[in-house]
Structure 1
Amino acid sequence: MNKRGLILSLSVTLLATSFLVACGGKDPNAGSGKSKTLIYGRGADSVGLDPSQQTDGESLKVTKQVLDTLVDYKDDSTEVVPGLAEKWEKSKDGLTWTFHLKQGVKFHDGTPFNAEAVVFNFERWMDKKNPYHKGDYPYYGYMFGGFKGDPGHVMKAVTAVDANTVKFELAKPQGPFLNNLAMSSFGIGSPEAIKKDPEGVKFNQSPVGTGPFKFVEWKKNDSITLAKNPDYYEKGLPKMDKVIFKSIPDNAARFTALKSGDIDMMDGLNPDDAKLVEADKKLQLKLRPGMNVGYLALNTTKKPFDKPEVRQAINLATNKKGIIESFFAGYAKPAINPMPDVVWGFNKETQDYEYNLEKAKSLLEKAGYPNGFDVEFYAMTEPRPYMPNGKKVAEFMQEDLKKIGINAKIVTYDWQTYKDRVGKGEHQMALYGWTGDNGDPDNFLYVLLDKDNTRTPDAGNVAFYKNDALHDTLIKAQQSTDQKARTDLYQKAQEIIKKDAPWVPLVHATVPEAARAEITGWIPHPTGSDKLLNVSIGK
């Protein structure tokens, strides 16, 4: 080809490429190693981007990229490793923890990260009288026994010893303290950015941290765009210039987008599609460990669920094996306890309720409901890691409930509205679930079932179940630093919960996810929040 012909050919190619990109098509260089943009397809949008204000995984999987924590988890487990703190020590009595911070780290707005910044964040979260305490900060209350002035509050004081050293003084020892600090909810934000936004609205929409990616743009119900932090303290990372979280609510549509190359990786794969991924050389299957639970919460403050016999009857009328066979394609196991057996402290001796409709009818009669009752049954419509199709699961359960006289009307809302209503306790019974945050039993049993966490409007305990014996057991376990003693207490707690039946524990799901074959460095984390700094396209 002569020079003129070559120039003409290149011009036509560039024009075609520009047209494809302008029309929303994928850059043809994507996947060749030249693309520096990673598109992550997911089932729902984030609720907010201040991690201390959020409890939903869709929010935290984004904020994990933007705000770093004092300590972190290993890429594939909940073993604690250094984060913004490079080392730490605790006193013999477990009441004082001292953290030595990395030096030279800056927030995305150019301000320095230091001990005062850590103190500012914790004081903002813990003290309702702090001028920057604007919101509910649910996870802080869940993990540290409430807030300043509450009788169960663990945190006595957080102080800056010097510019690079922070001291935490506890009112009582806390076994999961270090694991708690590694949770995404306790990402350290820029004090200057927070001070510029005294009502806490802007920071929840455009957070400023020290993480590997900076916030760029949020198009509600469509996408969130992050850009590489060129000053990140881990040299050579992150590997991508840009990450886009793309919301595609329908699982099948998201899978189609992956196959067509419009997205690079996805969660919420329909379990039945996992075999299709394995058979496609252009794709790769990823399995996220099942540190989760999907459950039916029975609101114990509302009739007829104030009676344990009614709650036990619904457990007896639940065909967990049928649910797993119908909707999980084998990627789940029946839940016996509120926490999965991959978390230490699981009680292997607990006997599950059998699937027995006749026994269920007998218990309803004993409770004073021989003819059953009418009830609203909340079911989520967006796919969740522990519940790929909540509405279909609810319809399946609805049929068995009808056989024992319970007429369940299925009620649905968009995910944010659903969370809001359930967190306020507006439901009678609701499908819900949880992905463990830190690998500690406390994160399941205390957060989800202790009376301390029935606080609205964002209750962790959405069964609104209160049992003083359980509370005493969980607090003893929380305040112990001896894992054997804690294990014994958590096993006792699981026995109490099984008898009282505030839930129907349904499944622990091993979550199938998928990516293009060229994606490297993606390790699905048990907590559901992956740090994407090592992910790249091609070698």
Structure 2
Amino acid sequence: MSSHSSLRSRRVRTRAAGAAVIAALLLGGCAAGSNQSSTTSGTAGSAAGTSGSGSAPAGASGELRIAIPAYPGSWDQDFVAFDPVALAVFKNVYPYLVDYGVTQVDGKPVMDTATILPAWAESFTSTDGALWTLKLREGAKFPSGNPITAEDVKWSKDRAFAAKANVAGVYSLIGLTDPSQITVVDDRTVTFQQAFPSALSEQIQAISLFIYDSKKMKEHATDADPWAKEWAAQNPSDGGLYNVSAATPGQEIVLTANPDYPAEDGPKTQTIRLTVASDPAAESLLLRNGDVDIALGLGRQEIADLSGVNGLTTITSPSNEMISMPMNVAAAPFDNPQVRQAVALAVPYDSIISSVYNGGARRPKSIVPIDMPGYSEAGFPYDTDLDKAKALMAQAGNPAITTQIVYAAESGEQQQIAVLVSDALAKIGITATPTPLDAATLGQRRAAKDIPLQITSGQQWVNDVEYLMNGWTTGAYLNWSNYSNPTVDAAVEKSHTTTDSAERTALWTQIQQQFATDVPVIPLAQPDFVLPVADSVGGYVQPVDGLIRLRYLTKG
């Protein structure tokens, strides 16, 4: 197989092929489509009339009411970070050009990162893995009535590079670092000339290829603010699967199915009403009383408390969320690999899954999440074995260790895990005190990289080991273990320009074997996703990136 053959075989399909996949998924019993986005018009804080034909997309009907834990901190996707509510809303209201398909995992519908389907794009293809050609749909338009053109794509990505934030950061992973690499060919065609072929190209574009109505944005730009940042932060963007028909800060967002979105791909529900309920108890009460159909953002205990309530059910689905325990390998006592291995052998994995998650979690045997291509159980050959753990501590000289297990103060799950681990470590001579930190302090400590032992939770936006391991190279921002290994660094560096599947798998095996020896981090659990909903809700598809896709949801 040539180095780019896997890319050619996985390139984004034409609309006809996409429709065939959608039909197959519908026959399989789950509502599906290819992408989601949405549209908006007017200013935040008031009803914003949408443009277009005004008719509902074929198949869209009814209203879903969803409780959300917060209002978006900004409407500008280029600059929002660490705001999961905003990012989830954006995934449904911004015009995305491509998105993931759908597959089945353990009998549940999950977004398929191996299949990238066009949305507002007609096609997105490459023959060499470096030069990608994007073709827009003919006749596509924003709710303002402005056509969606190649100039909108170019302006939007020029803005992203100028922002030096979200998109610019991930684009660098695939060799896109300068606006000159994105070229307008004609009104409907744009090329992306990467510095090198990358196996990440399609997935990176699936999370980055959203666009703005550039004509509308330019109307609000000024000499001091050429990219209309101030206006964009306060006003929803237009052009996706849903339009924002009303937005009242701190209270409610009303989404209406975009009548201009292609009928075979469009949302299944006509209206989505998002109600802000910042208090979990209030959010639970809304669901109990039938005032909302779905409650997002509830903790597992709040969800468990809803069990057995008449008219409610809980959707469960396999998730790639990883609960881990990094150790600071740059400072005593965890600079000793024997101590780290002993900790790995002392952790009560089964108790964590049974006690904290009531059995609703899987145990990963690698830092690579289960279901991610390249996952190998050889990546973490440790099970609970206190005798072996004590023997390793003896080999390390039985050091007297007193330390902390830091966790997020607002997380009851992390607190439970910290207590279980603390009790287990005491049995091998390690005194580890569970230590809660508020979000601000935790962020500061993580930036300083001085936490000896901590509980973390994370979800990969890109389902690929290369993307994951960029966070574990020497000096990486998210490398809270201060881990540094030349073998891992070299393998990750090589992966950036390796597109052959077999060669990439060999690199992932090498990396996981090194992690099994070095143990800078201990994978604890992959909890299942749980979502409390009314019995009438259907069509849920689990997103790999944690951002709910409203397009699939039905009520009936």
> TM over 0.5, yes or no?
yes
Assess if the C-alpha contact under 8 Å between 2:97 and 2:118 holds in 1. yes
Counterparts in 2 of 1:167 and 1:408: CA distance versus 1, 3 Å: same
What per-residue deviation string (whole Å, max 9, x for no partner) do you get for residues 246-284 of structure 1? 34454x664443222132113456657878877556223
* Mapped pair 1:84 → 2:114: no
Confirm whether residue 334 of structure 1 aligns to residue 334 of structure 2. no
| Alignment pair present for 1:296 and 2:325 | yes
Q: CA deviation at 1:336?
A: 1.6
CA distance in structure 1 between the partners assigned to 2:70 and 2:344 by the alignment: 30
| Aligned equivalent of 2:311, options 282, 294, 300 | 282
Q: State the match for 1:12 in structure 2.
A: none
1:156–1:171 CA contact under 8 A, matched in 2: no
Shift of 1:332: 0.6
Deviation, structure 1 residue 98: 0.4
Aligned to 1:487: 505
Mapping 1:355-394, distance limit 5 Å: 355-357=384-386, 359-360=388-389, 363=392, 370-375=399-404, 377-382=406-411, 389-394=413-418
Q: In the superposition, relative to structure 1, how do residues 162 and 42 fare at CA in structure 2: closer, same or farther (>3 Å)?
A: same
> Per the alignment, do residues 492 and 204 of structure 1 end up closer, same or farther by CA in structure 2, a change over 3 Å counting?
farther
Is 1:442 the counterpart of 2:466? The answer is: yes
Distance 1:44 1:314 in 2: 38
Aligned to 2:481: 463
Partner of 2:217: 193
**Could you say which residue in structure 2 is the equivalent of 1:27?**
none
Indicate the larger mover: 389-398 or 186-195: 186-195
CA separation in 2, counterparts of 1:348 and 1:523? 27
Residue pairs, 1:117-128, within 5 angstroms: 117-126=152-161
Q: Which residue of 1 aligns with 2:196?
A: 172
Q: Which moved more, 1:260-269 or 1:480-489?
A: 260-269
* Match in the other structure for 2:431: 406
1:203 equivalent to 2:229? Answer no
Q: SS of the residue aligned with 2:455?
A: strand
Contact 1:271 1:327 in 2 (8 A): no
Tell me the distance in 1 between the aligned counterparts of 2:195 and 2:260: 35
* Aligned-pair CA distance for 1:211: 1.7
Partner of 1:514: 532
Work out the CA distance in 2 between the residues paired with 1:45 and 1:368: 53
Q: CA deviation at 1:55?
A: 4.9
Q: Deviations over 1:334-371 (max 9, x none)?
A: 22212222122111333432324454455556667711
Kept in 1, the 8 Å contact 2:67–2:275? The answer is yes
Unaligned runs of 5+ residues in structure 1 are 1-33, 383-387
TM-score, normalization by structure 1:
0.77
Query: Which one of the candidate residues 273, 277, 282 is aligned to 1:243?
Result: 273
State the match for 2:169 in structure 1: 141
SS state at 1:429 partner:
coil
Q: Would the alpha carbon gap of residues 290 and 70 (structure 1) be closer, same or farther in structure 2, given more than 3 Å must change?
A: same
In structure 2, what is the Cα distance between the partners aligned to 1:524 and 1:112? 32
Greater Cα offset, 35-44 or 163-172: 35-44
Instruction: Indicate the SS of the match to 1:489.
Output: helix
Encode CA deviations 1:304-345: one digit per residue, 9 max, x unaligned.
444434433332332111111111111112222122221221
Q: Look up the equivalent residue of 1:259 and give its one-letter code.
A: R
Give the AA of the match of 2:271: D
Of 99, 116, 139, which residue of structure 2 is paired with 1:72?
A: 99
2:424 paired with 1:396 = no
SS in 1 for 2:92: helix
In 2, Cα distance between equivalents of 1:334 and 1:352:
12
Shift of 1:532: 1.0
Whichever residue aligns with residue 81 of structure 2, its letter is: Q
Question: Residue 41 in 1 paired to residue 67 in 2?
Answer: yes
1:133-186: CA deviation from partner (whole Å, max 9, x where unpaired): 2x632x6424633987xxxx6997111111111101111110121122112x54
Tell me, yes or no, if the aligned pair for 2:319 and 2:526 is still in contact at 8 Å: yes
Letter in 1 for 2:130: L
Per-residue CA distance 1:8-36 (angstroms, 9 max, x = gap): xxxxxxxxxxxxxxxxxxxxxxxxxx995
CA contact 1:144–1:155 (8 Å) conserved in 2: no
Does the CA-based 8 Å contact 1:68-1:210 persist in structure 2?
Answer: yes
Indicate the SS of the match to 1:119. helix
State the distance in 2 between where 1:95 and 1:493 align.
Answer: 25
Whether 1:60 aligns to 2:83 is: no
- Distance in 1 separating the partners of 2:397 and 2:181: 52
Secondary structure, counterpart of 2:548 in structure 1: coil
State the SS of the aligned residue for 2:91: helix
SS in 2 for 1:430: coil
Aligned with 2:134 (options 86, 99, 102): 99
Aligned to 1:115: 150
Give the TM-score taking structure 2 as reference length.
0.75
Distance 1:84 1:498, change over 3 A: farther
Cα distance change, pair 243–426 in 1 and its aligned pair in 2 (3 A): farther
Q: Is the CA contact 2:488–2:514 (under 8 Å) kept in the aligned structure 1? A: yes
Q: Which amino acid aligns with 1:462?
A: W
Deviations 1:498-523 (A, max 9, x none): 22222111111221222112223332
Asked whether 1:476 is paired with 2:499, we answer: no
Do the aligned partners of residues 61 and 462 (structure 1) sit closer, same or farther apart at CA in structure 2, a change above 3 Å counting? farther
Q: Given that residues 170 and 204 in structure 2 are in contact (C-alpha distance below 8 angstroms), is that contact kept between their aligned partners in structure 1? A: no
Identity of aligned residues (%): 23
Q: Do 2:174 and 2:194's aligned partners in 1 also have CA atoms closer than 8 Å?
A: no
**How much does 1:62 deviate?**
1.6
Q: Given the alignment, which residue of 256, 264, 269 partners 2:293?
A: 264
* Aligned partner (choices 206, 225, 238) of residue 182 of structure 1: 206
Structure 1 residue 294: deviation in Å? Answer: 1.2
- Check conservation: 1:361, 1:370, Cα contact below 8 A: no
- RMSD, matched Cα: 3.5
Q: Is the 8 A contact 2:325 2:454 kept in 1?
A: yes
Structure 2 unmatched ranges of 5 or more: 1-59, 103-109
Contact residue 332 and residue 510 of structure 1 kept, 8 A: yes
Comparing 358-367 and 517-526, the one that deviates more: 358-367
